[in-house]
Structure 1
Amino acid sequence: MARKAIPIGPNILALVEDARIDLACAALALREGENEPEFNLSEEIPNSSDEVLVNEFRQGIVDTLSQFDLDELRPIEQRCRRIRALADGKGISSLTTIVERQFTEEQVLQIEAQPDPLCRSIWTFLNARQTFEDAESFHFARQFRDHGKMYDAFEVELEKTVYLDANAINETALASKITEVLELKTACTVKALDLPATEAHTTSIMLIVRHGGPLSSVHDHRYDGRRGTIYFRPPNEATLIYTPSKRQIEICGDSPVVRQKVSDAFAEVTLEHDISQKPLTWKRYNLSRFRTSLTLPIPTIEGVEIQVARVLEVQIRLGHWSRKLALKVALDDDIQDVATKYLGRGNIFRRAASFSRIGIAVKYNRAGDTKERSLNITVSGARSCNLQSNKDPDERSLGFALLHEWGILSAFRQIDNGDLRSMLPQLVDLYDLEEDEVSGGYLREIALDPDRLIEGGLLERRDRQDVVLIEEDDINGEVEIKPSSTPGMVSATGPFGEDAGERPTADLERYQINREWLQETVLKLIRPLLTNKGAQVLDQDLVLMGDIGMDGGSTPVFFARRLGDPQIINKLDQLLRARNASGIGIVLTSSNETLTCLGPNVVVPVLTHLSDDDEDLVLSREALAQTFSSGRNLATGGSSVAVLKAGTQSASLCIPGKAPLAILGANQIRIFEKLVLAHLAGSPDVKTADLIEDTGVKSPQQAFKKPMWENILDVYIAKGSTRGYWRLVV
C-alpha cells in the first residue's frame, strides 16, 4: 500500500531533522499571527545526548505536524526557509558579519555556544530578531547585484573621496529626507552598518531603509461566507551600500523610483552632494557590439592621442550564470583572429546571447606630452566597470569617453517634462501592454527611440530575438535569425532552410519595460490635474490617483490599464463596484476602445482628451469635465433600461438607480438584451430555453464566471415569478 504523502514542507522537515531539538521546538512553537495554529508540541524535551529518545521525539513532531493542512503549515515553512537561508553558503558569512557588529559580548558568547550554523541562525531568529532581519537584508543586497530588476548602481561625482563610517551618518535626518521625497504617509526608519572588506568588495557602509508602501487592498473571504476588503500598507525595504573608494551607491529595492530617490537623498544628506548641479550618474553598459566584432576602432578624443585600443579578454555565459566561456590573449595578439583560428569563423562569441565580461587595454599619451600611458578597462555585465574605482579623475573621464564613443556606455539622463509630454501617447501605449518585454521593431512603429528611453530609465536592454514568426510570400512560420555580412542587418532562415532575406538588427533587439518607473512617469504627467494627490494601488491594473474638483464637488480619479481585455474589465468592474461609497468617479484609461462606464464611474480614454494649449496640463480639463458631465447620468444607471454596446464583445447594462454593469462576451450580451427587451415590452419574465437559445450554455449561470454570477444574482438578474423563467431586476 502506498504511503500517504505528508504535508510538511522541506524546510520544516530539515529543521526538525537537523537542528538541536530544543531550538527546533522553540522555532516551531513560535506564532506570529492569530490565524496560525498551535501545534501543542510536548514540553518534555529529551536530553540531546540520548540519540534514541531524540530520534523518537523528532518522529513525534513529524507525526503531529502531519495532522495539519498545507495552508496551516505555510507560515512556519516560510520562517524555516528564512532560517536555513542564513545557515548555508554565503548566508553564514552574512549572519556572522552583522552579528559581529551588533551583538554584545554576552550575546557573542551565547551564539558561539551553539553547535553549528543552523543552530546559530535559529538562536538569532529567536533572541535577536532585528539583527536577524538586518543580516537578511545584507545577504539579499549582495545577491541582488546579479538581479537587474531590483538593483541599481549610481556614481557620485565628488571632487574628492569622502570616507565615512556608520557612526558618521545621521540616521534621523536621512529618514526625514526619505520620508519627504517618497511622500510617505507613515514613518521611515534608517539603520547604518559598517561592512568590512572582503576578497570581492572593499570597505563599505550599508543602510537599511524600511518604509511603508502605497496603500493597497485584497479581498477577504470571511468565515460567514461574505466577502470583504482588507486595506493594508505593505512593509517595503531598500538596502543601500555606499563604497567610498568607488564613489558608488548600490541599492536594492522593488521599485526603480524608490531606488533613485533614496540614493539622491543619501547623496544630499550624507555626502552633502548637490544633486541639482551634479545628478547621480546611472550608467548602463551594452556589450552587444562584440557579437559582430571583437575589434575596436581608434576614436578621436580631444587632448589625447590613442595609439592602441584592443580587447584582451572576453567572457560569455552559456545558458546559465554558473557556466561561462572565456578567452584571454596578450596585447600583441588580435583576439578576433585568435577566435576565428581556434574556434572557427562562426564561433560562439559571434552567436553569444550575452557577454558577462570584456577586458580592454588602451595605450595613449596626452597632447604635448611624450610620456606613454596605459589604461585597462574591464566591463562586467550591464552595470559594473572598474573605472568606477580608478582614483585618477582624468583616467576615469578618458575611459568613460572611450566607452561612449564605442557605443558601450549609456548614462542615465532624466527626460525633461516637455519631451515626456510629447511622448505621452506612446508612453500610454507602452503602459497598456500586457507583456513587460518589447522589440525594437515595435518601438520603431510607435516612433520611440529606445536609446533615449534607456537613458531615462524607462527601458532596459535585454538580448536579441533568435527566432521570429514571419507570414509573408512563401514563408509562413518561425524563421531562425543568424548574423549577416551586411552591417546593421541579420539574415533569416525559413523552417525548411530557405533564405528568408535580411532584417534590420535594431528591429530584433529586445527591451525590458521598467514597469514601476513607467507608471510613475505617466501618472506624474497627469497628476497636475488633481486637487488632492495620493496614489493608492488597488490592483496591478488599477491605481487610485486622488481627487479632482468637478461640478462643485470632489471626484475620485482612477487610472486603469488593459481595458481592451474582457477579463480585466470584469475584474476591475467588480473592484470598483465594491468602492461605490466614494461616489461617481473618473476612470482614466490607456485603452481607446472600451466601455462608457466601469462600475459607478465614467471611463475617459486619455489619448482622446489631450491638451493642446496648456503647458502644465497634458490632459484638457475642459474636455474631461465635459465627458464627465455627459456620462455622469449614465454612471448612475441612465434614465432608461438599456444595453449599450462597446463593440462585439463588451457592453454596459444600464438600469436607473444602479451602477452600470459591464457585460462581456456575446453570450452575456445576448442574455441581457433579451431580458431588457422583455422588460420594455411589459412582460419581464423570459423562459430559460428562450433566454439561452443560440448561446451553447444550459443555464444563464453558465454564461458567467462564479464571482460575477454571485454579485449579479438578485441584483441585476433573478428568477421569474414562475419556475423556469428569469427576469431583469429593476
Structure 2
Amino acid sequence: MIVHTPSTGRVHVRAGTRKLRHDAAESFIRTVLEQEPSQQPVDFQAYDIARFFNGFDLGLPEFDDASILRARVIRADISIGNLANRLSVSTSLDEDIGQLISDQPGLERIFRNALAMRFVEIAVQYRRAGVDGERTLDFTLTDRNTTSLLSLDDPFERVLGHRLLRHWGILRDGRAPTPRESTAVLPALLALWNLASDRINGAWLHERGVDVKTLLDLGFLVPSGWEGDDLIDEEDDFGEHVAKVVERPEGLELHSSDGQSSSAALPERYRVYRIRDGWVASHLREQLGKALDITAMENIRPDLIALGALEIDGRDVPLYLARRLEDERVRAAIDTELRARDKQGIGLVLQAGDVAGVCLAANVLARLADHILPEGAEFAVDLTSLTAAFRRNRSLAQGGAAVEFHKSGTGAGVLSVPGRGTIDIVGENRVTVIDRLVQAYPTPMKTEDMIAGFGGQSLSSIFGQPLWDKLKAGFMRSPKRGQWEIAV
C-alpha cells in the first residue's frame, strides 16, 4: 500500500520488507510524481509516547481549517514487573483517563513506576471548517514507532492527526544535522555503520556514551520496542531468562525467573532501536566527501567503498573506507578485493571499527575516528595525522625489512614478507603451518613436515582454496616438487 499526502509531500509505503518499501517508494516518486526522492528516509518521523508518563493532558490547538473540541487519551498500555507483562486501562472520550487512574488506589503509582509505555489510543472530537456536524478522529500509537493514522482513508484526517501530534510534542520530524552536530555524531555513526545491523539495544548505546536523543532527532535511530528477554551470565554458560527490573534503595536490579540477579541501569538500556542504515551511510558519504574533497565514490562491495585518492609525497594514494573487519569472512573478502587492485600501489584503508593492526592486503590500515579533528565548527579530517600514519606504516604494508610472523595467541597471526606485504592467518592449524615455514626460512621445507600431525590433510584443505591461492600468489613458492619456502 502506498499513501501519498500532497499537502505534506510525504510518501508512506506498507510492504513485507524494508527493501520492498524503499524500492516501491522510489519508483512511485520517480514515475508517478516525476521527482527525485529525498536522500533522507521518506518516513523520517518518530512517535514518542513516553511523554505520557508525565500525564495524559492534551492541549487544544487553534487551526484555521478545523476546530478541536476535545482530545483525550482513551486507552493506555504499560509494561509492569517485566516487559512481557502488560496492563491496559481504557475508557471513553467522555472520561478523563488521568483522573480515572488517580482515583484507583495504587494504580497511579503502578503507572508512575512502569517500565515502558507500550500503546496509546487517542480520540479527537473536531469540526471541519465549511462542513456541517462534528466528527471523531480515533487513532493509535505504539512504542514500535507505528501509528494507525497511515491507514486512514481520509487524507484530511491523516494530516490533522499528524499536526496534532506535532503540537503535543509526540511526533518528531527528522531534520538535517547542523555542521556541529555532524561532527559530534560522526563517531557514533561510524560505529553503527560498522555493525551492519538493522537493530541495536539501548545498553550498547549507553555503554558507549552515545547521545541517543540527538540520533533520534536526526532520524538515524527509530524506537522499535523493548527487549522481552535478557541473558544472565552464569559462571559456566549463558542461559536465557525472562528478565524484570526491580527498584531497590541502592538502585535498580535485573532479576531473572530462576532467582539470579545483576545490577541494572535505567530501563532505557532495554529499549530496542532500528538503525536507518541507508540514512547513516548516506550521511557518512556526504560528510567524508566534503572533508576529503572527493567528487566520486565507488561501492566495491557492501563493506568496502573506494574514496578516490589522497596525494602524499607526490603520488596519488588510493583511499578506501571499510567496515566489519572483525568478521573473518568479511575481512578475507575485502582482502581479496584490495589485492586485485595492487597495481594501483599501496593504499590507505580507513576502517569504521577499531580492529587491531596497521596493514591490510599491502595497504596501510588506519582507524578513521582517530583522525577526526575535534571541536570543529564542522566535520573535518586531520590530513596531517592521516599522512603521518601512512608514512609511518607503508614499509610494513610492503612487508617490512624481514620475514616475520606476528602471532596473536595460538589461533591468529600476521605474516610479513618484504616486497610482498602482509597477510592475515586465522586458525590454529594454519598458524602452525606458517610458523613452521617461517622458522625454517630461508631453508625450503618439505610438505610432509609442514602438515605433520594434521591427519594427512593437504595444504589447500588446511588453508581453504581462496587463502591458499593468495599465499601461492605472493607469499610462498615451491622451489621443487614437494617443498615450499617463503617467497622473498
Q: TM-score scaled to structure 1, two decimals?
A: 0.51
Could you tell me whether the CA contact under 8 Å between 1:297 and 1:309 is conserved in 2?
no
1:261 counterpart (39, 44, 58): 39
Secondary structure of the residue that 1:520 maps to in structure 2? helix
**Whole-angstrom CA distance in 1 between matches of 2:474 and 2:353:** 29
Q: 1:654 to 1:474 in 2, by over 3 A?
A: closer
Alignment of 1:188-227 (within 5 A): none
Q: 2:343 aligns with which of 571, 576, 581?
A: 581
Query: Counterpart of 1:162?
Result: none
CA distance in 1, matches of 2:470, 2:369: 32
Output one character per residue of 1:494-524: Cα deviation in whole Å (capped at 9) or x when no partner. 2425677866321100011122222222333
1:700 to 459, 468, 475: 459
Please state how far the C-alpha of 1:550 moved relative to its aligned partner. 1.7
2:29 to 229, 233, 240: 240
User: Is the contact made by 1:651 and 1:662 (CA closer than 8 Å) also made in structure 2?
Assistant: yes
Q: Which residue of 2 aligns with 1:726?
A: 484
Give the letter for the 2:27 counterpart: A
Matches within 5 A, 1:104-183: 143-144=14-15, 147=17, 151=21
CA–CA distance in structure 1, aligned partners of residues 447 and 237 of structure 2 = 50
TM-superposed CA distance for 1:413, in Å, is: 2.1
- Tell me how far apart the structure 2 counterparts of residues 530 and 492 of structure 1 sit (CA, whole Å): 46
**In the aligned structure 2, how far is the partner of 1:609 from the partner of 1:711?**
31
Letter of the 1:588 counterpart: L
The residue identity in structure 2 corresponding to 1:360 is: A
Please give the alpha-carbon distance, in whole angstroms, between the structure 2 residues aligned to 1:441 and 1:375.
41
Aligned residues of 1:611 and 1:619 also touching (Cα < 8 A): yes
Tell me, yes or no, if structure 1 residue 622 matches structure 2 residue 384: yes
Distance 1:300 1:491, change over 3 A: farther
Is 1:378 the equivalent of 2:139?
A: yes
The reply to whether residue 360 of structure 1 matches residue 126 of structure 2 is no
Shift of 1:565: 2.7
The amino acid of 2:139's aligned partner reads: T
Contact kept in structure 2, 1:587 and 1:601, CA below 8 Å: yes
Task: Specify the code of the residue in structure 2 equivalent to 1:663.
Answer: I
Whole-angstrom CA distance in 2 between matches of 1:648 and 1:420:
42
Cα-to-partner distance string for 1:645-692 (whole Å, 9 max, x where unaligned): 57765443333332432322343333223323322xx4x222335423
Equivalent in the alignment of 1:717: 476
**Offset at residue 644 of structure 1 (A):** 4.1
Residue aligned with 1:567, SS: helix
1:726 alignment partner AA: W
Alignment-derived partner of residue 452 in structure 1:
214
**Alignment match, 2:268:** 506
- Structure 1 partner of 2:82: none
Counterpart secondary structure, 1:713: helix
1-structure distance, mates of 2:123, 2:252:
27
Quote how far apart the aligned CAs of 1:296 are.
Answer: 5.1
Provide the secondary structure at the position in 2 that maps to 1:662.
strand
Tell me the amino acid that sits aligned with residue 378 of structure 1.
F
| 1:169-193 CA-partner distances (Å, limit 9, x unpaired) | xxxxxxxxxxxxxxxxxxxxxxxxx
Is the Cα–Cα contact under 8 Å of residues 13 and 21 in structure 2 kept in the other structure?
A: no
- 1:515 and 2:277 aligned: yes
The AA in structure 2 aligned to 1:260 is: S
Contact 1:532–1:548 (CA<8 Å) still a contact in 2? no
DSSP 3-state at the match of 2:28? strand
Q: C-alpha distance in 2, partners of 1:428/1:618?
A: 14
> Cα offset for 1:151?
4.5
Residue number in structure 1 paired with 2:5: none
SS in structure 1 of the partner of residue 29 of structure 2: strand
Letter in 2 for 1:359: I
Aligned to 1:79: none
Per-residue CA deviations over 1:414-454 (Å, capped at 9, x if unaligned) read: 22121221233332222222533211121111112323212
Specify the alignment match of 2:226 in structure 1: 464
Contact 2:40–2:279 (CA under 8 A) maintained in structure 1: no
Do 1:238 and 1:259's aligned partners in 2 also have CA atoms closer than 8 Å? no
1:565 has 2:323 as partner: no
Query: In structure 2, what is the equivalent of residue 556 of structure 1?
Result: 318
Counterpart of 2:83? none
Partner of 2:73: 311
Q: What is the rounded CA distance, in whole Å, between the counterparts of 1:281 and 1:563 in structure 2?
A: 31
> 1:171 — aligned with what?
none
CA contact (8 A) 1:375 1:395 kept: no
Q: After superposition, what is the alpha-carbon deviation per residue over 1:332-353, rounded to whole angstroms, capped at 9, x for unaligned?
A: 3567979xx9xx999xxx9999
Match of 1:669 among 418, 421, 431: 431
Deviation per residue, 1:236-273 (Å, 9 max, x gap) = x5322999xxxxx9x9xxxxxx853389xxxxxxxxxx
* Aligned equivalents of 2:247, 2:473: Cα separation in 1: 69
Q: Which amino acid aligns with 1:660?
A: T
What SS class does the counterpart of residue 298 from structure 1 fall into?
Answer: coil
Matched residue of 1:240: which SS?
Answer: helix
**Is the aligned partner of 1:687 residue 2:446?**
yes
- Give the CA deviation at 1:630: 2.5
Q: Report SS of the residue matched to 1:581.
A: helix
Secondary structure of the structure 2 residue equivalent to 1:595: coil
Using CA pairs under 8 Å that are at least 6 residues apart, name the structure with larger relative contact order, 1 or 2.
2
Q: 1:275 maps to which residue?
A: none
Task: Find the aligned partners of 2:193 and 2:46 in 1 and give their Cα distance.
Answer: 23
Give matches, 1:304-343, under 5 Å: 309-312=71-74, 330-333=92-95
- The one-letter code matched in structure 1 to 2:317 is T
* Counterpart Cα distance in 2 of 1:463 and 1:573: 38
Conserved 8 A contact 1:597-1:652: no
For the Cα contact (< 8 Å) 2:196–2:277, is it kept in 1? Answer: no
SS in 2 for 1:479: strand
RMSD, matched Cα: 4.9
Q: Unaligned 5+ residue runs, structure 2?
A: 3-10, 79-87, 128-133
Counterparts in 2 of 1:572 and 1:649: CA distance versus 1, 3 Å: farther
Q: Which runs of 5+ in 1 are unaligned?
A: 1-89, 95-139, 153-206, 210-236, 244-248, 252-257, 264-279, 317-325, 365-372
Would the aligned equivalents of 1:437 and 1:513 in 2 still touch at CA under 8 Å? yes
Post-superposition Cα deviations, 1:129-184, rounded to whole Å, max 9, x if no partner, equal: xxxxxxxxxxx98643x7556658xxxxxxxxxxxxxxxxxxxxxxxxxxxxxxxx
Give the structure with higher Rg (CA): 1
Deviation at 1:306, TM superposition (A): 9.8
- Which of 598, 613, 631 is matched with 2:393 structurally? 631
| 1:428 aligned residue (182, 190, 202) | 190
Identity %: 23
2:175 to 401, 410, 413: 413
Q: Aligned equivalents of 1:448 and 1:546: distance in 2?
A: 30
Number of corresponding residues:
447
For 2:372 and 2:293, how far apart are their aligned partners in 1? 19
Deviations for 1:593-617, whole angstroms, at most 9, x for unmatched residues? 3332222311111122232476555
Supply the AA of the counterpart residue of 1:442: W
Structure 2 counterpart of 1:297: 56
Distance, in Å, in 1 between the alignment partners of 2:235 and 2:429 is 38
The residue matched to 1:638 in structure 2 has which SS? coil
Cα 1:151/1:664, change in 2 over 3 Å: same
2:6 aligned residue: none
